[in-house]
Amino acid sequence: MTSGAGTGPDDDTSTDGAATGGAATVVDARGLRCPLPVIRLARAAAGLMDGDLVTVWSTDPAAVHDVPAWARMRGHTVVRSTALDDEAQDRTEPATAITVRLGG
């Protein structure tokens, strides 16, 4: 569900309002393992402003702990964490959508 908004083949980010209910940058880190979901999230957040939302989609079970820890250490706030309900996803590897508001 990402678009071609990234800058290269390894940049899985897009702006997608449907993913979080408002304009948010989406980082599709499904299939990636620790520490890559947090690294991709940090890379996407670096170009954004305080108050912006970033949602990371991850199939890595560690992300539900790693993303909130990263947000806390950087002064950001996790505003939502839900199971990603995407018909195209592999049901054997469920994904989580974690939304962070930058700057608290």
pLDDT tens-digit map of 14-45 = 654 434 445 789 999 999 999 999 999 999 99
Work out the pLDDT band at 88, boundaries 50, 70, 90: low
The total number of structural domains that make up the chain: 1
77 in a structural domain: yes
Which residues have CB under 8 Å from 21's CB, separation 6+?
none
Mean pLDDT for the stretch of residues 87-91: 66
Q: Which residues are catalytic?
A: 34
> Over the chain, what is the mean pLDDT?
83
49 lies in a domain?
yes
Residue 75, domain extent: 32-84
Residue 36, in any domain of the structure: yes
pLDDT at res. 104: 65
Query: Which pLDDT band, with edges at 50, 70 and 90, does 85 fall under?
Result: confident
For 34, half-sphere exposure in the C-beta direction (CA atoms, 13 angstrom radius) is: 9
Residue 98 in domain = no
Rounded CA-CA distance 85/52 in Å is: 23
Q: How confident is the model at residue 87 (pLDDT cuts 50, 70, 90)?
A: low
pLDDT of residue 48: 96
**15, 1 in Cβ contact below 8 A?**
no
